[in-house]
Amino acid sequence: MSHSQLQTPYFMIDEAKLIQNLETAKKLKELSGVKLVLALKCFSTWGVFDIIKPYLDGTTSSGPYEVKLGHETFGGETHAYSVGYTEQDVLEVADIADKLIFNSQSQLAYYRHLVEGKASLGLRLNPGVSVAGQDLANPARKYSRLGVQAAHIDAQVFDALDGVMFHMNCENKSADSFVALLDSISEQFGQYLDKMQWVSLGGGVFFTWPGYELEKLAAALKAFAEKHGVQLYLEPGEAIITKTTDLVVTVVDIVENEKKTAIVDSATEAHRLDTLIYDEPASILEATDGAPHHYVIGSCSCLAGDQFCETQFSEPLKIGQRLHILDSAGYTMVKLNWFNGIKMPSIYCQRSSGEVVKLNEFGYADFKRSLSQWSV
């Protein structure tokens, strides 16, 4: 099937690009001894897990259904974490998780007895230091509810624990700054870490970014693991699927109000939500910086400020033309929603062989069912 025959909007995951990232992940594992579990909150499109499985050690999750999905479709180690478990959640995940990580000492105290003898027990700690560009995504922000701060630790809880998890990075592209965080963690929590079997350092380490100092990161991870006598984990999401996937859309109209806006058959609010939440404009494959034809790439939703980006093209855009919105895998497919009843993008994978495989498609029935199955 050629791409031009596919109906937009759709996501196209490129296997060859995915494998490039996974090879970097493999190198990091070999150099450092770290284990890597895929953060399903970022990317859960299980139709491509057969490509990822040989490279990573398992999955980590942020809610009970992700635990189940990781266990069922990925296998390997299944880490279960949630900011707030109900008792029912704990009962459900304890049987299928290898590690169950609580967010607070109170949740640990309530539910520990349901986990003992089933999964390895962990607690999230908050180091109070972080590298995150935006406050919204900063786990160490003021009044953070994510993990236990050093000052609030009851030292006795470590007697019951096998491991701890930290997560304090968001798209951190600097190995040096990560090493500084490790030093701070060692200094604040070292006495406790020495008693643990495993430590997860969370996600947000952008080790597949071009020019990332992978060897420096690997050496620091190895030294940290040896110093504290622990098996280290990272929980990469974005680093694994960055730059692998386009969201392909069609220009359906062009309007002008001081600026020209090309309206496409997709919306950030429904299909690429983080564009809006983090105010991070998308990049378009067909655009050329500084070229003469300036457009806002606007969405077909009703939200006034819903736009993908403003950019330039060497030729005027035409209705019916396709645009490729780059780097659209992370935190997109997991956040798809039916706002405005806009057609949801299909999901495809372009295999390294060139073959295009359909992973999902959605229709009116899916929209309708998501709203009610039964009427009064």
CB of 240 to ligand PLP, least distance (A): 8
Write out the two tokens for 162.
């096998």
Tell me: does residue 239 bind ligand PLP (CB under 6 A).
yes
CB of 139 to ligand PLP, least distance (A): 7
Considering the complex, state which of residue 298 and residue 330 has its C-beta at the smaller distance from ligand PLP. Answer: 330
Considering the complex, state which of residue 39 and residue 179 has its C-beta at the smaller distance from ligand PLP. Answer: 39
Bind-site residues for substrate: 238, 274
CB of 246 to ligand PLP, least distance (A): 19
Residue span binding ligand PLP (CB under 6 A) among the ranges 38-46, 128-136, 187-195, 295-303: 38-46
Tell me: does residue 237 bind ligand PLP (CB under 6 A).
yes
Interacting residues with ligand PLP between 161 and 220 (CB under 6 A): 167, 170, 202-204
Considering the complex, state which of residue 125 and residue 249 has its C-beta at the smaller distance from ligand PLP. Answer: 125
How many whole angstroms from its chain centre is CA 335? 11
CB of 249 to ligand PLP, least distance (A): 24
**Residues in contact with ligand PLP, total (CB under 6 A)?**
13
Q: Which of 217, 220, 233, 222 is nearest to 162 (CA)?
A: 233
Considering the complex, state which of residue 15 and residue 238 has its C-beta at the smaller distance from ligand PLP. Answer: 238
Considering the complex, state which of residue 77 and residue 235 has its C-beta at the smaller distance from ligand PLP. Answer: 235
The residue from 12, 28, 42, 217 that contacts ligand PLP (CB under 6 A) is 42
- Considering only the C-alpha atoms of the chain, give the largest distance between any 2 of them, rounded to a whole number of Å: 67
Write out the two tokens for 185.
């963690």
Write out the two tokens for 337.
């929603």
Bind-site residues: 238, 274
Rounded to 5 degrees, φ, ψ at 209 are -65, 140
Considering the complex, state which of residue 171 and residue 269 has its C-beta at the smaller distance from ligand PLP. Answer: 171
Considering the complex, state which of residue 296 and residue 326 has its C-beta at the smaller distance from ligand PLP. Answer: 326
**Residue type at 247 in one-letter notation:** L
Considering the complex, state which of residue 39 and residue 220 has its C-beta at the smaller distance from ligand PLP. Answer: 39
Q: Give the Cα separation of 94 and 358 in Å (integer).
A: 34
Q: Give the Cα separation of 369 and 376 in Å (integer).
A: 15
The residue from 77, 238, 265, 269 that contacts ligand PLP (CB under 6 A) is 238
User: Which DSSP string do the residues of 222-280 spell out, in sequence order?
Assistant: HHHHHHHT-EEEE--SHHHHTT-EEEEEEEEEEEEESEEEEEES--HHHH-HHHHHTT-
The four Cα atoms 338, 235, 247, 75 give a dihedral, to 10 degrees, of -80
Give the helix ranges, DSSP H, for the chain.
15-32, 49-52, 64-73, 87-94, 105-115, 175-193, 214-228, 238-241, 268-271, 273-277, 364-371
Considering the complex, state which of residue 42 and residue 97 has its C-beta at the smaller distance from ligand PLP. Answer: 42
CB of 16 to ligand PLP, least distance (A): 21
SS3 207: coil
Please classify residue 302 by burial: count the beta carbons closer than 10 Å to its beta carbon, then call 0-12 exposed, 13-18 middle and 19+ buried.
exposed
CB of 200 to ligand PLP, least distance (A): 8
**Residue type at 168 in one-letter notation:** M
Interacting residues with ligand PLP between 217 and 236 (CB under 6 A): 235-236
Write out the two tokens for 73.
């479709």
CB of 260 to ligand PLP, least distance (A): 35
Contact 326, 309 (CB under 8 A): no
CB of 98 to ligand PLP, least distance (A): 16
Print the binding letters for residues 321-360 with ligand PLP: x by CB under 6 A, - otherwise: ----------------------------------------
CB of 81 to ligand PLP, least distance (A): 6
**Strand pairing of 259-264 and 245-257?**
antiparallel
Write out the two tokens for 31.
């150099």
Q: Which residues bind ligand PLP (CB under 6 A)?
A: 39, 41-42, 167, 170, 202-204, 235-239
